[in-house]
Structure 1
Amino acid sequence: MDLKDIQNLIKFVAKSGASEVKLETEDVKITIKTGSGDKPETTTYVQQIPVNAPVAQASAPVAQANTAETTAAASTAEDSKYITIKSPIIGTLYRKPSPDKPVFVEVGQTIKEGDVLCVIEAMKLFNEIESEVSGKIVKVLVDDSSPVEFDQPLFLVDPS
């Protein structure tokens, strides 16, 4: 793509009324943003992509990130009425007291303050995570035996 093609593309986008256009080819990545207001404003970014970099792998994570953001925004809107119980520490979450025992809490189960929800292992110490609210478990957000980070959501509770 030469300079004349880029200039024609900018003129076309400015006339079309689109606010943003992205174009990617094997060796060029172009983003054209037009401003709104009295005076049309056009911003163009041209980025040369190295020939040896695979384009398909570079664009796939962006699409996955956008999908994840959309899904997260939709679930946040419907989950806003629930209380989120978050991890107080970093470690490995276990939903059962031992492998041969049943899980501490299930979806739909009613809990009260002080009930043990799960155990988090940190540095060979098993810490019982107790509920600080009363309500009904709506959703379990973490699988058994999976690593958790500080302040990571673990459970959604309906306080009503």
Structure 2
Amino acid sequence: MDIKEIQNLIKFVAKSGASEVKLEMEDVKITIRTGSGKTETTIVQAAPMAGVPQVAATVAAQPVASTEAAAPQAETENSKYITVKSPIIGTFYRKPSPDKPNFVEVGSEISIGDTVCVIEAMKLFNEIESEISGKIVKILVDDSSPVEFDQPLFLVDPS
């Protein structure tokens, strides 16, 4: 497998929306994980190939290094906020129906038990209620987007 094929595979996985892809061949093992805008690529060479291991290692190291540098800064900014996470897999909706207003906006005050969004799973619309009180600081998911279990949906300032 050459570098062009690896790069095309990474692009394909990123566009497909898959969260993880593992590819194992005789001499190459590749794992590509995507999520929240980041792409992490791990390439392990079992058998030496002329020229490919050095280039493949360079391709893998660039995304990992950039995400490690950005992570501590983002973590300190968001550490004072509480994250509301998705309790189920489904499609995230900010409003109860297309003709109704959004449940919450940035700056909205919420209380325990307030509905913050709806997640559709298997044609059932599940109202997601807040388990905390505070102010919505950031909405982390676009309307009508698929969400995973335990994916962050909102940042809430509890003060």
CA RMSD of aligned residues (A): 2.5
What is the match of residue 88 of structure 1? 87
**CA 56–128 in structure 1, closer or farther in 2 if over 3 Å, else same:** farther
SS at match of 1:63: helix
Gaps of 5+ in 1: 1-45
CA drift at 1:78: 1.4
Aligned equivalents of 1:90, 1:57: Cα separation in 2: 34
Distance 1:102 1:72, change over 3 A: farther
Q: Which deviations, in whole Å up to 9, do the C-alpha atoms of 1:4-43 show, x marking residues without a partner?
A: xxxxxxxxxxxxxxxxxxxxxxxxxxxxxxxxxxxxxxxx
**Residue number in structure 2 paired with 1:69:** 68
- Name the structure 2 match of 1:102: 101
Q: Deviations over 1:41-84 (max 9, x none)?
A: xxxxx984456x6x878744542233233323211111111111
Between the two proteins, the alignment pairs up a number of residues equal to 114
Identity %: 65
**Within-5 A mapping of 1:3-14:** none
Give the structure 2 partner of residue 140 of structure 1.
139
1:64 aligned counterpart, secondary structure: helix
Which runs of 5 or more residues in structure 2 are unaligned? 1-44
> Would the alpha carbon gap of residues 49 and 78 (structure 1) be closer, same or farther in structure 2, given more than 3 Å must change?
farther
The answer for the alignment partner of 2:7 in structure 1 is none
* Larger-gyration structure (1/2): 1
Matched residues in 1 for 2:55 and 2:130: separation?
Answer: 45
> TM-score if structure 2 supplies the norm length?
0.62
Name the residue aligned to 1:131.
130
CA shift, 1:116, in A, is 0.8
- Cα distance in 1 for partners of 2:119, 2:151 equals 12
CA distance change for structure 1 residues 70 and 49 in 2, over 3 Å: closer, same or farther?
Answer: farther
- Which amino acid is 2:147 matched to? V
The runs of at least 4 aligned residues of structure 1 exceeding 3 Å deviation read 46-51, 55-62
Where does residue 40 of structure 1 map in the other structure? none
- SS of residue in 2 equivalent to 1:65: helix
- How many angstroms apart in 1 are the aligned matches of 2:55 and 2:147? 31
Distance in 2 (alpha carbons) for counterparts of 1:142 and 1:95: 9
Cα 1:64–1:99 change in 2 (3 A) is farther
TM-score (norm 1): 0.62
CA distance in 2, matches of 1:68, 1:117: 30
